[in-house]
Amino acid sequence: MKREKGSARTAVAKPKRDWSKFRKIIWKNRAVYLMILPVVIYYILFHYKPMYGVIIAFQDYNPRKGVAGSTWVGFKNFIDFFQGYYFTRLLANTLKLSFATLIFGFPVPIILALLINELRSKKFSKMVQTITYMPHFVSMVVLCAMIRQFVAQDGFINQFFQLFGYSGKNMLAVGSLWIPIYVISNIWAGAGWGSIVYLAALTSIDSELYDAARVDGANRWKQTIHVTIPCILPTIIIMLIMRVGQIMGIGYEKTILLYNEGIYDVADIISTYVYRIGLLNREFSFSTAVGLFNSVVNFTLVIIANQISKKTTETSLW
Amino acid sequence: MAKKKDLDMMDSSAKVKISRGERIFNVFNIIILSLFMIACIYPFWYVICASFSKNTLLMGYRGALLVPQGFSLAAYARVFGTAAIWKGYANTIFIVVVGTALNIFMTLLAAYFLSRKNLPGKTFITVMIMFTMYFSGGMIPGYLNIQQLGLYNSTWALILPCALNTFNLIIMRTAMSGIDASLEESAMLDGAGHMTILWKILVPLTKATIAVLVLYYGVAHWNSWFSAMIYLKDANKYPLQMILRKILILSDLTDAGIGNDDAEMVAETIKYATIIVSTVPILALYPFLQKYFTKGVMVGAVKG
């Protein structure tokens, strides 16, 4: 992307002197601008218009009066949220769930890819890949249905833990089990699929590096530490930054399908709260404010992660 | 290239003596991966077995299911007889086909623009597109927007707002940027316009990537349920996933013609049979499409 910026700059370097030339380029390429028009309209209509709609967070929005007619209330909605009963609980739950999925979920695909990469038998490696990718193709609704069935009182996972003294209560009704259920099912569904990108990075490592390491007497463990991991580090970092960008956007779809009122105190996160308050209770302004808080925190996290990564590893999204 | 590397590795591993530690590691590696495979497969096997079981036997069964308990097709008979499921299938297929076609069209247009060099305004449009990856208006403004656009309770509310996915756009742009520019330049000299270059040169050369994106977009449409839940009021327009949600998550089996009285008779097995009926088509296609999926991730792995 940096390179493009540079090239665009050279194209418009001296706008005044090159204005006619500039116009000529545009006219010559008018077809391409016509082609991008639907795309621009799409982004304006379905991305930027809702961003503009965010201003109702600072209003007491009345759908009948519209954005122009509604009264302004400044930061009242935000203050209400920050001082409200649920704020700390929601923030804590969101962060806990996010960091748990990140810390436990993020390394698994990498480890899986490294293990697959070490397999000597091509056939077995192919089989591992085919089978571990499969859960990715189960839809969210079906995945959650399976979880609900399996951890219910008569479900096999529940019964398995009964062997070790578990009470047998529906596991989704036990608050302390919420995060483990969420995280483990996430790993089940996504680890295999997530390993593909690392496998791709692994196959592109120059085999001469391994030859050189072997000549230096490095065994497979040392080769992994000194050749493999440094080579896939840029991929890992890019994936990590992108994951950090999803911290606050952590799966409300899955939570909505799995949680119940009994475990709201651990399972309710900001995005599910926005859904309930906004769409079920129709408090549009307040829920938009809560959502905006979420988006801003999220955006800040991406920028920080990207900046840190840029400084320390010279790998960055932009 | 990958093949060559494998050959090299086999070659050298044949020559170099494998140490004891490495052999132990190999065995453990195979065991760990086998356990992981079993963990991946078993839930599917359980669902299959349960769906063919007799409901009463299944309810009384404890522990891991290895074979169906009894054998009954009653649950499948109910599922196949459920009109809502077929209606949901039809709606979903419409959304997948029309939605994916629109997705590909838009992605190609956008990727073509972004892969051009020295176009005035490109930086601006690139930033405008990329910014949406990191910041959005959020759920409620999005919802109000759909209402304002008059899309509420319309199937188009499930298609238009996701007409383009920025991640997929980056994959496509990367593929197009990778194509030798001299091809396009010579076509330009021959008087070809931008549309011709896109359709006659770039599309045939990026067929593999397009196939990948068809799959990505198609699967996303197939799996989507949340927008249907918030944007559709009319149950007749519900995609399959919403019907599944009703049956599987809300345990509302009225669609399957089951009242509360006889729910006990087949209820559990019906759920499992519903999972099978809704998941088998995509899992059956998957082994044939696997290589495209994998390829897609590899294309996407190149930094955007």
Q: Which chain A residues contact residue B166 at CB under 8 A?
A: none
Give pLDDT, residue B16.
Answer: 54
B93 or B174: whose pLDDT is higher? B93
CA of B294 vs chain A CAs: smallest distance (Å): 7
Which residue, among A23, A27, A42, A258, would best test binding to B if mutated, counting the most B CBs under 10 Å from its CB? A42
Please determine, looking at this structure, whether the domain spanning B77-301 carries the CATH number 1.10.3720.10: yes
Q: What is the DSSP string of B194-250?
A: HHHIIIIIIHHHTHHHHHHHHHHHHHHHHH--HHHHHH---GGG--HHHHHIIIIIS
Task: Give B170's pLDDT tier (boundaries 50, 70, 90).
Answer: confident
A27 or B260: whose pLDDT is higher? A27
Q: Is the pLDDT of residue B13 over 50?
A: no
Q: Measured on CA atoms in the order B235, B236, B237, B242, is the torsion positive or negative?
A: positive
Q: Is the pLDDT of residue A13 over 70?
A: no
Task: Give B4's pLDDT tier (boundaries 50, 70, 90).
Answer: very low
Q: For chain A, where are the E strands, in sequence order?
A: 59-60, 71-72
Task: Give A22's pLDDT tier (boundaries 50, 70, 90).
Answer: confident
Interchain pair A53, B144: CB under 8 A: yes
Q: Give the CA distances from residue A46 to residues A201, B141, B163, B199, in Å, rounded to whole numbers and listed in that order.
A: 34, 10, 9, 27
Interchain pair B226, A139: CB under 8 A: no
SS3 state at A72: strand
Kindly list the structural domains of chain A, giving each domain's residue range(s) and its CATH number in brackets, ordered by start: 21-74 (no CATH), 86-313 (1.10.3720.10)
CA–CA gap between residue A268 and residue A178 (Å, rounded): 10
Q: Name the region of A197 (left: φ>0; alpha: ψ -120 to 50; beta: rest).
A: alpha
Looking at A182-196, A293-307, B154-168, B246-260, which range is the least confident one?
Answer: B246-260
Q: Which residue has the tokens 């009964």?
A: A162
Interchain pair B271, A145: CB under 8 A: yes
Give pLDDT, residue B156.
Answer: 97
CA–CA gap between residue B77 and residue B8 (Å, rounded): 55
CA–CA gap between residue A203 and residue A214 (Å, rounded): 18
Residues forming CATH 1.10.3720.10 domain(s) in chain B: 77-301
Give pLDDT, residue B150.
Answer: 95
Interchain pair B123, A8: CB under 8 A: yes
For residue A206, how many other CB atoms are within 10 A of its CB? 12
Q: Which chain A residues contact residue B188 at CB under 8 A?
A: none
Looking at A245-254, A281-290, B80-89, B258-267, which range is the least confident one?
Answer: B258-267
Q: Is the pLDDT of residue A264 over 80?
A: yes
Minimal Cα distance from A303: which residue of B? B134
CA–CA gap between residue A234 and residue A220 (Å, rounded): 21
Type of residue at A16: K
Task: Give B65's pLDDT tier (boundaries 50, 70, 90).
Answer: confident
CB contact A260 to B (< 8 Å)? no
CA–CA gap between residue A20 and residue B4 (Å, rounded): 53
Q: Measured on CA atoms in the order A107, A109, A115, A118, is the torsion positive or negative?
A: negative
Q: List the 165-184 stretch of A: residues with Cβ below 8 A of B.
A: none
CA of B149 vs chain A CAs: smallest distance (Å): 9
Give pLDDT, residue A285.
Answer: 95
Residue A50 neighbours by CB under 8 Å, 6+ apart: B136, B137, B138, B141, B142, B144, B145
B3 or A180: whose pLDDT is higher? A180
Give pLDDT, residue B11.
Answer: 47
Task: Give B42's pLDDT tier (boundaries 50, 70, 90).
Answer: very high
CA–CA gap between residue A284 and residue A263 (Å, rounded): 25
Q: Do the beta carbons of residue B173 and residue B111 sit within 8 Å?
A: yes
Which residue, among B16, B104, B140, would best test binding to A if mutated, counting the most A CBs under 10 Å from its CB? B140
CA–CA gap between residue B52 and residue B55 (Å, rounded): 9
Provide, rounded to the nearest whole percent, the portion of chain B with pLDDT above 70. Answer: 87
Q: Calculate mean pLDDT across residues B17-38.
A: 89
Give pLDDT, residue A207.
Answer: 85
Average pLDDT, chain A: 87
Closest to A8 in 3D by CA, of B84, B125, B149, B33? B125
Task: Give A249's pLDDT tier (boundaries 50, 70, 90).
Answer: low
Q: Is the pLDDT of residue B127 over 50?
A: yes
Task: Give A76's pLDDT tier (boundaries 50, 70, 90).
Answer: very high
Q: Is the pLDDT of residue B70 over 80?
A: yes
CA–CA gap between residue A302 and residue A93 (Å, rounded): 20
Provide, rounded to the nearest whole percent, the portion of chain A with pLDDT above 70. Answer: 93
CB contact A282 to B (< 8 Å)? no
Q: Give the CA distances from residue A34 to residues A57, A294, B195, B269, in Å, rounded to whole numbers and listed in that order.
A: 35, 36, 10, 55
Q: Do the beta carbons of residue B138 and residue B126 sit within 8 Å?
A: no
Looking at A21-25, A84-88, A156-160, B127-131, which range is the least confident one?
Answer: A21-25
Beta bridge partners of A72: A59
Q: Calculate mean pLDDT across residues A184-203.
A: 90
Q: Give the CA distances from residue A6 to residues A9, A209, A310, B17, B118, in Å, rounded to whole numbers and listed in that order.
A: 5, 33, 19, 52, 10
Interchain pair B136, A12: CB under 8 A: no
B174 or A114: whose pLDDT is higher? A114
Give pLDDT, residue B3.
Answer: 46
Q: Do the beta carbons of residue A279 and residue B139 sit within 8 Å?
A: yes
